[in-house]
């Protein structure tokens, strides 16, 4: 049971690890030949579109095809994909603007303004 949960299948371990943090870069490196690009039955246009817009879900699909859903890698990609999809929009809540003014005698004054969005 535990071996099935941690299995990597035919996908290279480096691709799974790097893909969690940088999915587009990892898939691009695999496509260039640094590792085996995961075999799949999607057309090249669909692969490119998913690589461009939903790369973590594309990696989850590759893991699903290779070893199924009863795997830590599949669920790691699904969770990071959902968190990234819904969590990135509220990352920046305020913007800080600093203005520094210098008088003729060399004294500086810095004012800080916060914009809340």
Band of pLDDT at residue 5, cut at 50, 70 and 90: low
How large is the angle between the packed helices 44-53 and 55-67, nearest 10 degrees? Answer: 120
8 A C-beta contact, residue 110 and residue 100: yes
Asked whether the predicted pLDDT for residue 22 surpasses 60, the reply is: yes
Band of pLDDT at residue 13, cut at 50, 70 and 90: confident
Question: Residue by residue, what is the 3-state secondary structure of 43-71?
Answer: CHHHHHHHHHHCHHHHHHHHHHHHHCCCC
Dist CA 16 CA 11 (whole Å): 7
In the chain, where are the structural domains located? 2-87
Dist CA 78 CA 35 (whole Å): 22
Q: Which region among 32-36, 79-83, 103-107 has the lowest average model confidence (pLDDT)?
A: 32-36
What would the pLDDT profile of 77-96 be if each residue is shown by its tens digit?
A: 999 999 887 875 555 556 67
8 A C-beta contact, residue 72 and residue 6: yes
Asked whether the predicted pLDDT for residue 48 surpasses 80, the reply is: yes
8 A C-beta contact, residue 27 and residue 36: no
Task: Give the residue with greater pLDDT, 4 vs 68.
Answer: 68
Task: Give the residue with greater pLDDT, 37 vs 74.
Answer: 74
């Amino acid at each position: 049971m535990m071996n099935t949960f941690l299995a990597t299948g035919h996908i290279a371990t480096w691709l799974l690890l790097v893909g969690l943090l940088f999915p587009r870069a990892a898939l691009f490196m695999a496509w260039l030949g640094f590792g085996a690009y995961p075999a799949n039955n999607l057309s090249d246009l669909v692969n490119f579109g998913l690589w461009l817009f939903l790369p973590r879900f594309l990696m989850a699909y590759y893991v699903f095809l290779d070893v199924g859903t009863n795997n830590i890698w599949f669920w790691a990609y699904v969770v990071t994909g959902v968190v990234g999809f819904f969590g990135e929009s509220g990352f920046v809540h305020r913007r800080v603007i600093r203005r520094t003014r210098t008088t003729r005698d060399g004294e500086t004054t810095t004012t800080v303004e916060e914009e809340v969005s």
